[in-house]
Amino acid sequence: MGKTDPPPRKRQKAGEDQAQAQQEDTDTSQLAAADEAAAAAASSPAGRKAPRGARAAAEQPAAAGDASGQQQPQQRGRKGSRRQGGGGTTSAAAAAADLGGEPASKPGAAFQPRDRRFTADSDTIMEAVVKVFCIHTEPNFSLPWQRKRQYSSNSSGFMISGRRILTNAHCVDHHTQVKVKRRGSDKKFVASVLAVGTECDIAMLTVDDDAFWEGVEPVVFGSLPQLQDAVTVVGYPIGGDTMSVTSGVVSRIEVTSYVHGAAELLGIQIDAAINSGNSGGPAFNSSGRCIGIAFQSLKHEDAENIGYIIPEPVIAHFINDYERNGGYTGFPCLGVEWQKLENPDMRTALKMKPHHKGVLVRRVEPTAPAHAAVAAYDILLSFDGVDISNDGTVPFRSGERISFSYLVSQKYTNEEAVLRLLKDGKEVTASVSLAAPVKLIPFHIKGAPPSYFIVAGLVFTPATVPYMRSEYGKEYDFDAPVKLLDKLMHHMAEQPRQQVVLLSQVLAAEVNIGYEEMLNTQVVALNGVKVVDMRVDHSEQLPCTEEYLHFDLDYNQKVVLATAHAKAATQEILAMHCISSDRSPDLPGGAAAAAAAAAAAAANGAPGSSAAAANGADAAAAAAGDKCKEKAGSGKSSRRR
């Protein structure tokens, strides 16, 4: 009799056994190849980079056109093999199970558990995080011809492509020296500051020494995360000298107030700990990609574990702005103040139809380009084709809404935006240019020294938030004069360079008897001419031919000085208070005044005067120091608190 075929069930069982045997052979050969690669890498003189390459060869499939010519089995992606903390957590047994074989016998063939040792990939990420050492010398805004005692700070940063380092702007604010140190290194490298974005609180550094960049891979950025996504913050916070890793989840994504730059930009709230020293450090997602920069936290008795990171769209805007313009130009603004239109009676009174939605324009800044196209009580319906709701929000990802100012912040300075407006019940379209905001009382002076002008002991300086903080402390928004706060919060600049010029203080002398108690009062007019800014209305108008100088101050106060007496007494007062120049270098004649002071110091034969004269202001300071040695020995006595 002929040989009968086995039953279908037995045929299926035999096929499964044969396939399983082939699969085991394939897996065994793969693991053997991985072990050989790891062993060869361990003996390679290339150092720690070779084991990383061996692991990568064992975990990732061969690329198209690979020399092996064989199609490797598809394996799990990188995202599935990494958890929060920046380090891989897949064990060797799990990796072998993914391949369908036995646990790997060598640790180099697969990831190790995070509680035992960091993986190669996590080490690569950590290597890009650096510690930033900065020496700061802040201006003394109350005595603007001086600087405060220098101090040091430690913060974090990380390397990106193009031999650049990102950190926070407040970490290098008023810097005189910046150094960076890599993880595990004992050498600090001097860094130079390429750009500082005060509004977005980001700074870009670089290091010229090639040794600093050897054997390191730059951080790769990821996309905007979803709520509840895992996030890991890496940096050098207080509490120790070595690197610290904290983890949490994304709690909220919305337009956030940036404390350092007083701007409203997109921000991510997380519940991972962010402490002093974490500033500038990267925040990674579960795939090891950077999704933000740690920059501030909320400290309140009713709040716990609330930290904020700068998201990738804001970082990309900063980098692209620098690359496009050769420097940082800032985030533009539309230049309008608006009001919600949630009340149905108001919408009807403004001739809005049932399908209309938008916000009411209350005021338009005179210095904004939109001033020519937008008027008060216009209704802004859409921005660049995106409809604006009655509460001022626009769609933002699935099931989320966000303030329409986010759309404005995505633009660059001098770019055009298309607005759809409702004017007296009629829809119109206007194209406007976007520019950086102009503040009557600026929140920052972008690292520049403060302006000042002195005549007859009267010290004039522009009102800025740093000056108000210097005079009234951190609670300046409660303790400063009401009129100054009103100008800070509600007044708009009518000209691009307009300033609020203050009579800061009076350096007591015979020529200004009776005016010693005047301080921090706005100067309204000089000799009947309205004071607009420091540059024009003081340094150029003071050399007038009138017999008296009439200063009209706020609250209807008045200061009158004889012109000849005021000019004659100025130099004596400057010498008495060890002030090298009657004006800051940014004002007309400031550089000439510094050169004249240097020449005077050289003529007086001050020690080292010939060398100091070449440095201008240094010579002037040396000459003033010779005339008032006693006061120079106790500089704190003249410092205003």
For every residue of 109-126, DSSP letters joined together read GS---TTT---HHHHHHH
Confidence of residue 318 (pLDDT cuts 50, 70, 90): very high
pLDDT confidence band for 601 (50 / 70 / 90): low
Pick the catalytic residue from 136, 142, 156, 170. 170
| Whether the predicted pLDDT of 164 surpasses 80 | yes
- H/E/C letters for each residue in 561-603? EEHHHHHHHHHHHHHHCCCCCCECCCCCCHHHHHHHHHHHHHH
- Stronger pLDDT, 486 or 101, i.e. the higher one: 486
In terms of average pLDDT, the best of 14-18, 135-139, 240-244, 446-450 is 135-139
Is residue 326 over pLDDT 70? yes
107 versus 164: which is more confidently predicted?
164
Lowest mean pLDDT among 401-405, 521-525, 608-612: 608-612
> Per-residue pLDDT for 616 more than 90?
no
- Is 170 considered catalytic here? yes
Q: What pLDDT, on the 0 to 100 scale, is given for residue 448?
A: 86
> By mean pLDDT, which of 17-31, 124-138, 429-443, 467-481 is the weakest?
17-31
Of residues 83 and 174, more confidence is placed in 174
Q: Is 577 a residue of the active site?
A: no
Contacts of 74 (CB under 8 A, 6+ apart): 61
pLDDT at 366: 95
Give the pLDDT confidence score for residue 227 in this predicted structure: 93
Residue 107 has pLDDT above 50, yes or no: no
Q: Please give the average per-residue pLDDT across 78-105, as a whole number.
A: 36
CA–CA separation, 278 vs 130, rounded Å?
11
pLDDT, residue 589, reads: 76
Can you give the pLDDT at residue 599?
61
Residue of 279, 297, 451, 581 marked active site: 279
What is the pLDDT at residue 593?
Answer: 58
Q: Which residue has the higher pLDDT, 590 or 574?
A: 574
| Residue 640 pLDDT > 60 | no
Q: Does this model's pTM top 0.75?
A: no
Residue 473 pLDDT level (bands cut at 50, 70, 90):
very high
Q: State the pLDDT at residue 592.
A: 58
Q: Which residues of 250-285 are buried (b: 16+ CB within 10 A; e: fewer)?
A: bbebebbebebbebbbbbbbbbbbbbebbbbbbbbb
What is the pLDDT confidence band of residue 180, given thresholds at 50, 70 and 90? very high
Q: Is 251 a catalytic residue?
A: no
The pLDDT assigned to 101 comes to: 38
CA gyration radius for the chain?
A: 33
pLDDT for the residue 73: 39
The span from the CA of 502 to the CA of 17, in Å, is: 91
pLDDT of 56 > 80? The answer is: no
pLDDT given for residue 88 in this prediction: 35
Average pLDDT over residues 597-607: 54
Report the distance separating Cα 412 and Cα 84, nearest Å. 34
Mean predicted confidence (pLDDT) in 373-383:
96
Contact 156, 235 (CB under 8 A): yes
Does the pLDDT of residue 257 top 70, yes or no? Answer: yes
Please identify which of the residues 121, 123, 173, 201 carries the catalytic annotation: 201
Element (H, E) at 155: strand 151-160
What's the whole-number average pLDDT of the chain? 79
Q: Which pLDDT score, from 0 to 100, does residue 8 have?
A: 45
- Asked whether the predicted pLDDT for residue 10 surpasses 90, the reply is no
Q: Dig out the tokens for 120 from the structure.
A: 């190669």
In order, the DSSP letters of 303-323 are: --S-EEEEEHHHHHHHHHHHH
Residue 110: pLDDT band (50, 70, 90) is very low
The span from the CA of 166 to the CA of 235, in Å, is: 13
Per-residue pLDDT, averaged over 72-76, amounts to: 40
Maximum C-alpha span of the chain:
138
Percent with pLDDT over 90 in the chain: 64
Domains along the sequence of the chain with CATH? 120-325 (2.40.10.120), 336-434 (2.30.42.10), 453-588 (3.20.190.20)
Of residues 62 and 486, more confidently modeled: 486
Query: Does the structure show a pLDDT above 70 at 91?
Result: no
pLDDT given at position 62: 37
From CA 455, how far away is CA 213, in angstroms rounded?
53
Per-residue pLDDT reduced to its tens digit, 265-309: 999 999 998 999 999 999 999 889 999 999 999 887 777 889 999
Please say if the pLDDT value at position 519 is more than 80: yes
Q: What percent of the chain has pLDDT over 70?
A: 72
pLDDT at residue 312, rounded to an integer: 96
Place 63 in a pLDDT band, splitting at 50, 70 and 90.
very low
Q: 35-44: per-residue pLDDT in tens?
A: 554 444 444 4
Identify the pLDDT of residue 536: 52
pLDDT(532) > 80: yes
In 3-state terms the chain splits into helix, strand, coil percentages (rounded to 5) of 30, 25, 45
